[in-house]
């Protein structure tokens, strides 16, 4: 699956904000991140998902944010305050 036209926020030693970015996902792995034009040219037969107007945060950042959201939604903060 090639997710295209997203704004991509990356982490690591050189964090980036990629406008009109793309993410190649195969199975449960991210295989490539780059600009939409480059990855669409490299992987022309890949199924696509247009994410225009969306922010994509691959890897660890998404996991941390999702975990925090689940804790708040589950009332974790209220229990911890007691």
pLDDT digits (tens, 9 = 90+) for 35-49: 999 999 999 999 999
Structural domains counted in the chain:
1
Instruction: Give the integer Cα–Cα distance in Å for 67 and 71.
Output: 6
Higher pLDDT, 12 or 62: 12
The answer, yes or no, to whether residue 65 has pLDDT greater than 50, is no
**Structural domain span for residue 51:** 2-81
- By the 10 Å C-beta count (0-12 exposed, 13-18 middle, 19+ buried), 60 is classed as exposed
Out of 3-7, 34-38, 54-58, 71-75, pick the least confident: 71-75
């Amino acid at each position: 699956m090639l997710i295209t036209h997203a704004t991509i926020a990356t982490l690591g030693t050189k964090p980036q904000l990629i406008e009109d970015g793309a993410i190649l996902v195969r199975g449960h792995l991210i295989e490539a991140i780059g600009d939409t034009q480059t990855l669409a040219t490299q992987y022309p037969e890949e199924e696509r998902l247009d994410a225009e107007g969306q922010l994509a945060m691959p890897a660890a950042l998404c996991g941390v944010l999702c975990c925090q959201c689940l804790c708040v939604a589950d009332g974790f903060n209220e229990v911890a305050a007691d």
